[in-house]
Structure 1
Amino acid sequence: MLSAEVFEIAGRRVWIGVFWQEKIQGITFSLDREQFERNVERLSGFLRRRGVDLDLAREGSNYPALVRDVIIGKVDNADVLDELSFEGLTPFEGRVYEWLTKNVKRGDIITYGNLAKALGTSPRAIGGAMRRNPYPIVVPCHRVVAKDGIGYYTPRLDEKVFLLKIEGVEGWTSSKLTS
């Protein structure tokens, strides 16, 4: 199923969509309705290529509100890990996402290099895992930054900036890589 809702957060409209069956199969969000629809298509295609059995019927659930509550800091990211299905992930991706979610808290950041060092891998492998993250916001890939700036974000950098600002991570949101 797909549950989708729009919320007002920090003066912005935020579209949140959650694919789910028994647990959350994937999350997408956007600050723009048209981009949100593209994100839904991109995520559903990605999940299907990964062998996740999706039902594209739209049905309401509490999941979009749960994701909103993570954004605004009402719910800790790690408290939502048990709600994620982890379907279609490689063991490496699962290990990265779990470590990141449990160890990099709201208001903090970590570089690709330091995350790689913590997990005994390469920054490039971490970057790939972040790009493929089907659970943005809950698995806080927006908190992973480059050593010399904010880094990149899929699909749009302005969404990473928005999330970091809400979390009070102002210094990284004005870095040279945001333009």
Structure 2
Amino acid sequence: MLGAGTFEIAGRNVWIAVFWRKKIQGVTFALDREQFERNVERLSGFLRKRGVNVDLTPESSDYPFLVKDIITGKVENTDVLSELSFEGVTPFEGCVYEWLTKNVKRGSVITYGALAKALGTSPRAIGGAMRRNPYPIVVPCHRVVAKNGIGYYTPRLDEKVFLLKIEGVEGWTSSKLTL
């Protein structure tokens, strides 16, 4: 099923969609409607390639509200970790997503290198796992930054900047892109 909603957060409209069955299969969001539609298409295609049975039938759900509450700080990321299905996620990705969610809290960041060192892997492998994260916001890939700047973000860097600013991580948001 697909639960979706539009919320005003920090003076911006934020579109949030959650693919779900018994648990959350994937999350996407955007700061404009056109990008949101592209993100929904991109995520559904990615999940299907990973063998996840995605149903695009719109269905009322509390999940988009839960994701909004994570963005606004009303709910901790770790509180939602058990709601993720981890369907189509490799064991490595699952390990990275779980460690990140449990250890990098709201208002803080970690570099690709530091995360790689904590997990005994390479920064490039961490970057790949972040790029493939089907649960953005819940699994806070936006909190992973480059050692010399904000780094990248799929699909758009302005969304990473938006999330970090809401969380009060101002130092990193001006390093490569200013809204």
TM-score, structure 2 as length reference? 0.99
Cα distance, 1:137 vs structure 2: 0.2
The yes-or-no answer on 1:46 pairing with 2:41 is no
Equivalent runs, 1:3-152 vs 2, <5 Å: 3-152=3-152
Could you say what the CA RMSD is over the residues aligned between the two structures, in angstroms? 0.6
Unaligned runs of 5+ in 2: none
User: CA–CA distance in 1 between the matches of 2:154 and 2:54?
Assistant: 21
User: CA–CA distance in 2 between the matches of 1:144 and 1:71?
Assistant: 16
The DSSP-based 3-state class of the residue aligned with 1:108 is coil
Runs of 4+ in structure 1 displaced over 2 angstroms?
A: none
Q: CA-to-partner distance for each residue in 1:75-119, whole Å, 9 max, x for gaps? A: 000010000000000000000000000000000000000000000
The yes-or-no answer on 1:174 pairing with 2:174 is yes
Report the equivalent of 1:161. Answer: 161
Cα distance, 1:140 vs structure 2: 0.1
The DSSP-based 3-state class of the residue aligned with 2:28 is strand
Q: CA-to-partner distance for each residue in 1:43-95, whole Å, 9 max, x for gaps? A: 00000000001111011100000000000000000010000000000000000
The DSSP-based 3-state class of the residue aligned with 1:158 is helix
The DSSP-based 3-state class of the residue aligned with 1:57 is coil
Alignment size in residue pairs: 178
Cα distance, 1:178 vs structure 2: 2.0
User: CA–CA distance in 2 between the matches of 1:135 and 1:103?
Assistant: 16
Partner AA of 1:173 in structure 2? T
TM-score, structure 1 as length reference? 0.99
